[in-house]
Structure 1
Amino acid sequence: MTLEERKSAFTDLGTFLSQFSLEKNEPLPQARQNDLFYEAFVSLIELSQSHNGWYTPEQVYHSIHSWAEALTKGNLDQWVSHYDFPDTAPKTVGLVLAGNIPLVGFHDFLSVLISGHNVMVKTSSDDQHLLPFLANYLISAEPRFKNRITFAEGKLENFDAVIATGSNNTARYFEYYFKDKPSIIRKSRNSVALLTGKETTDDLTLLGEDIFRYFGLGCRNVSKLFVPQGYDFTHFFESVFVYQDIIKYEKYANNYDYNKAVFLMSLYKLLDNGFMTIKEDTSYASPISSVFYEFYDDLETVKAKLEEEAEQIQCVVSNNLTPNSVAFGQTQKPKLWDYADNVDTIAFLTSL
């Protein structure tokens, strides 16, 4: 199978995914395989929350829409144009996937296949249905993928390289278990926003998208704010109030109540708007429904701190205050060439 043929199959998948949105599902005449997959995918989306309580229709549709926008011919061409794909025998690459947000492991799955390798997937128990469905669609659209895609029921065996994602604790296990294989081992990371106090209401409202999308469960969700000394959070709270309905979701509300109670019992000083808490803290990882903040005196000093601690940070959101900063509202809309942990997955795969 040539690179062009592989890109064509994923373009077909992107067209298929573009039919589905929270507002309206609408079949497109140019979409292939609808007779086999369209109604089944609608049903799977409706059932996703029963498989994982965090996978509400709104969150699943957002993930689907993001991938539909990414999987276009133009994006795929631009992405792969930066690499030379050697004409060598394909290797089998094992994937150990997370399940914190819908289709969080799809980029690794796509990267392995677009590179011409075979993929062996160990799904998370929290996300066992969406990716296998899309894999079946790909195989139907391009039958030569059938022998290139495997889902492992037990532990991974008979693979040549591995990409594994987990917490800092599981990463230590992965590093030991996969020590004899070429690997990418991903650990816990968090995203931050660097504010100056000059942000507009639109900026801060979009920042709310970076905080609340997927209930804050992703590594690209902003969990920490860096703000200048004396920063007044009134404008921030007013700007993110449009997200207040998140508290109507029971699992989120339970976390809000619990974490707020823990903070109060510990006599921490909190800012609270009824659906999120803000706490001064030097940590990057905040619990669900809470965002930490840290004051700074000098912008250059905090930029240097972020550079020194880059291995703990996935994204920095700002108005172009740092190299490679992400625009407000864009953390959960990565491009195909925006690699997790800034590790070039395709470069790794083409070196095997």
Structure 2
Amino acid sequence: MLQIDKIKCFVELGQFLSQFSLESSTKNDKVLNNELYFENFIDLIHLSQSHNGWFTPENVYFAIQSWAKALQEDNLNYWLSPYNFSETKPKTVGLILAGNIPLVGFHDFLSVIISGHKVLVKTSSNDQYLIKFLAKYLISVNPELKNFITFTDGKLENFDAVIATGSNNTARYFEYYFKDKPTIIRKNRNSVAVLTGDETHQDLVNLGEDIFKYFGLGCRNVSKLFVPKNYDFQPFFKAIYEYRDVIYYEKYSNNYDYNKAVFLMSNFKLLDNEFLTLKEDTSYASPISSIFYEYYEKIEELKNQLENDVDQIQCIVTKDVIKNSIPFGKTQQPELWDYADNVDTLLFLNKL
């Protein structure tokens, strides 16, 4: 099966996904196999929250729309243009996927297939239905893809390489268990924002998107702020008030109550607006409903700190302060070529 044919399949998938949004889902008669998949996909979207309580329709639709935009022919061709897969001898690549946000493992799934290899997928129990549905749709577009896609509920067997995502603890297990195979092993990472005090109200509103999208569960969600000495947090709290309705979601609210109680019982000093707590802390990984913050004195010293801690950081959000940083509000809108942990997945697959 030629790469151009696989590209066409994923473009068709993008067109299928483009029909679904939180505001309305409108059937396009030009989309392949809609009569078999359109209504079933709407049902699955609305069932997703029963499979994983964090997968609200809003978050699932956001992930679907993100992939609909990514899976356009120009995007795919631009992404693939630096690589030559014409000499690829298909290998079986095992994927161990995370399940913290909807379709979080789809980029690895796409990368393996589009590079000419076969994928052996072990999904997370927290996100096992959406990606299987999309795989089924792809196979309906071109049945040859059935030879490239396998899902397993047991342990991975008969594979040539592995891409695995997990916690720092599971990563140690992966490194030992897969030590004889080519691997990409992803650990815990968090994203940070660097503020100067010169941000506009809209900048800080956009930062709220980086904090609250997916309830803060993704590695691209901002979990820590770096602020200058004597920073005034009032503009920040005023801006993020737009996201106050998050507290009405029970799972988030339970985390807010629990984590706030733990902090207060430990006599930690908190800033609090009744739906988000801010705690001064040098760590990068804050619990759900809380953001850590740390003061800095000189931006150059902060840049050195961030460079030294690069293995703990997924994204840096600033307003033109740090090189290669991401604008406010854009962390959950990565391009196909924005690789997790800055590890080029296609380059890894091209070398197998």
Superposition TM-score tier, normalisation by shorter sequence = over 0.9
| 1:310 aligned partner | 310
In structure 1, distance between residues paired with 2:323 and 2:156: 38
The AA in structure 1 aligned to 2:307 is E
Q: Which moved more, 1:214-223 or 1:80-89?
A: 80-89
The AA in structure 2 aligned to 1:193 is A
SS where residue 315 of structure 1 aligns? Answer: strand
Percentage identity across paired residues of the two chains: 67
For residues 223-255 of structure 1, give each alpha carbon's deviation from its aligned partner in whole angstroms, at most 9, with x where no partner exists.
000000000100000000000000000000000
2:347 matches 1:347 = yes
| 1:324 aligned partner | 324
User: Any conservation in 1 of the 2:191–2:220 contact (CA below 8 Å)?
Assistant: yes
| 1:173 aligned partner | 173
| TM-score normalized by the length of structure 1 | 0.99
| TM-score normalized by the length of structure 2 | 0.99
| Per-residue deviation, 1:86 | 3.7
Any unmatched runs of 5+ in structure 1?
none
| 1:9 aligned partner | 9
Q: Map 1:195-274 to 2 at 5 A.
A: 195-274=195-274
| Per-residue deviation, 1:28 | 1.5
Any unmatched runs of 5+ in structure 2?
none
Q: Map 1:177-196 to 2 at 5 A.
A: 177-196=177-196
Q: Which moved more, 1:45-54 or 1:23-32?
A: 23-32
CA RMSD of aligned residues (A): 0.6
SS where residue 278 of structure 1 aligns? Answer: strand
SS where residue 288 of structure 1 aligns? Answer: coil
SS where residue 101 of structure 2 aligns? Answer: coil
The AA in structure 2 aligned to 1:49 is Q
For residues 48-69 of structure 1, give each alpha carbon's deviation from its aligned partner in whole angstroms, at most 9, with x where no partner exists.
0000000000000000010001
In structure 2, distance between residues paired with 1:263 and 1:93: 43
SS where residue 121 of structure 1 aligns? Answer: strand
| 1:124 aligned partner | 124
For residues 24-72 of structure 1, give each alpha carbon's deviation from its aligned partner in whole angstroms, at most 9, with x where no partner exists.
0001132111011000000000000000000000000000010001000
| 1:71 aligned partner | 71
| Per-residue deviation, 1:322 | 1.6
| Per-residue deviation, 1:313 | 0.1
In structure 2, distance between residues paired with 1:131 and 1:18: 16
2:320 matches 1:334 = no
In structure 1, distance between residues paired with 2:86 and 2:324: 29
| 1:144 aligned partner | 144
User: Any conservation in 1 of the 2:32–2:141 contact (CA below 8 Å)?
Assistant: yes
The AA in structure 2 aligned to 1:115 is S
In structure 1, distance between residues paired with 2:245 and 2:166: 30
SS where residue 28 of structure 1 aligns? Answer: coil
Q: Which moved more, 1:82-91 or 1:148-157?
A: 82-91
| 2:280 aligned partner | 280
| Per-residue deviation, 1:207 | 0.3
| 2:38 aligned partner | 38
The AA in structure 2 aligned to 1:217 is L
| Per-residue deviation, 1:197 | 0.4
User: Any conservation in 1 of the 2:98–2:166 contact (CA below 8 Å)?
Assistant: yes
| 1:95 aligned partner | 95
In structure 2, distance between residues paired with 1:320 and 1:155: 45
| Per-residue deviation, 1:87 | 2.0
